[in-house]
Amino acid sequence: MAGRKPQLKLGAFLSVPGNHLAGWRHPDAVPDCDMDFAWYMRLAQMAERHLYDTIFFQDTVAVAGSDALKAGDRTRTRLSRIVKLEPTATLAALAVGTSRIGLVATATTTFNEPYNIARRFATIDHISKGRCGWNLVTSQIEDEAGNFGLDTHVDHALRYERAIEFYEVVSGLWDSWAEDAFLRDKESGVWFDPDRMRFLDHKGKHFACRGPLNVPRTPQGRPIVAQAGSSEPGKELAARTADVVFTAQTELQAAQEFYADVKGRTYRYGRTPDDIKIMPGITPVLGRTMAEAQEKYDQLQSLLPDEVALAALARFTRGVDIFSYPLHGPMPELPEANSAKSRQKLIMDMARKGNLSLIQTARAVSAAQGHRVLVGTPDYIADELEEWLRKGGADGFNVICNYYPGPFQDFSEMVIPELQRRGIFRTEYEGTTLRENLGLRAPPSVWT
Among 2, 6, 41, 338, binds a copy of itself (CB under 8 A): 41
- With contacts defined by CB under 8 A, name the span among 2-10, 201-209, 232-240, 358-366 that binds a copy of itself: 201-209
Site string for a copy of itself, 214-243 (x = CB under 8 A): xxx---------------------------
d(CA 210, CA 214): 12
The SS3 of residue 397 is strand
d(CA 13, CA 25): 20
Q: What are the residues whose beta carbons fall under 8 Å from the beta carbon of 415, sequence distance 6 or more? A: 284, 286, 378, 381, 382, 385
Among 5, 157, 158, 208, binds a copy of itself (CB under 8 A): 208
d(CA 131, CA 223): 8
Site for a copy of itself in 42-81 (CB under 8 A): 60-64, 66, 69-70, 74, 76-80
d(CA 401, CA 386): 19
Dihedral, CA of residue 432, residue 433, residue 435 and residue 439, to nearest 10: 10
- With contacts defined by CB under 8 A, name the span among 90-98, 222-230, 241-249, 391-399 that binds a copy of itself: 90-98
- Apex 387 CA angle, 383 and 391, nearest 5: 175
Cα→Cα distances 120→90, 102, 112, 174, Å: 12, 16, 12, 11
**Is residue 28 at the binding interface for a copy of itself, with CB under 8 A as the rule?**
no
Looking at beta carbons only, is 259 or 403 nearer to a copy of itself? 403
d(CA 215, CA 211): 11
Q: How many CA atoms lie within 13 A of 407 on its CB side?
A: 34
Looking at beta carbons only, is 191 or 269 nearer to a copy of itself? 191
Looking at beta carbons only, is 129 or 345 nearer to a copy of itself? 129
**Is residue 137 at the binding interface for a copy of itself, with CB under 8 A as the rule?**
no
Site string for a copy of itself, 300-339 (x = CB under 8 A): ---x-x--x-------------------------------
Q: How far is the CB of 127 from a copy of itself (least distance, A)?
A: 5
Q: How far is the CB of 71 from a copy of itself (least distance, A)?
A: 11
Q: What is the DSSP letter of 231?
A: S
Q: What is the largest CA-CA distance in the chain?
A: 80
Looking at beta carbons only, is 226 or 415 nearer to a copy of itself? 226
What backbone phi and psi angles, to 5 degrees, belong to 373?
Answer: -100, 125
Site for a copy of itself in 167-196 (CB under 8 A): 177, 182, 184, 186, 189-194
Site for a copy of itself in 403-442 (CB under 8 A): none
Among 19, 54, 58, 88, binds a copy of itself (CB under 8 A): 88
Which of 133, 43, 45, 139 has its CA nearest to residue 88?
Answer: 133
- With contacts defined by CB under 8 A, name the span among 83-91, 160-168, 240-248, 321-329 that binds a copy of itself: 83-91
**Is residue 211 at the binding interface for a copy of itself, with CB under 8 A as the rule?**
yes
Looking at beta carbons only, is 44 or 346 nearer to a copy of itself? 44
Q: How far is the CB of 195 from a copy of itself (least distance, A)?
A: 10
Looking at beta carbons only, is 6 or 305 nearer to a copy of itself? 305
**Is residue 31 at the binding interface for a copy of itself, with CB under 8 A as the rule?**
yes
Looking at beta carbons only, is 11 or 18 nearer to a copy of itself? 18
Q: Are strands 396-400 and 132-137 parallel, antiparallel or unpaired?
A: unpaired
Site for a copy of itself in 105-134 (CB under 8 A): 111-113, 115-116, 119-120, 122-124, 126-127
d(CA 113, CA 268): 27
**Is residue 92 at the binding interface for a copy of itself, with CB under 8 A as the rule?**
yes
3-state SS of 104-162 is EEEEECCCCCHHHHHHHHHHHHHHCCCCEEEEEECCCCHHHHHHHCCCCCCCHHHHHHH
Asked if 79 contacts 21 with a C-beta cutoff of 8 angstroms, the reply is: yes
| Total binding residues toward a copy of itself, as defined by CB under 8 A | 80
Looking at beta carbons only, is 80 or 135 nearer to a copy of itself? 80
**Is residue 290 at the binding interface for a copy of itself, with CB under 8 A as the rule?**
no
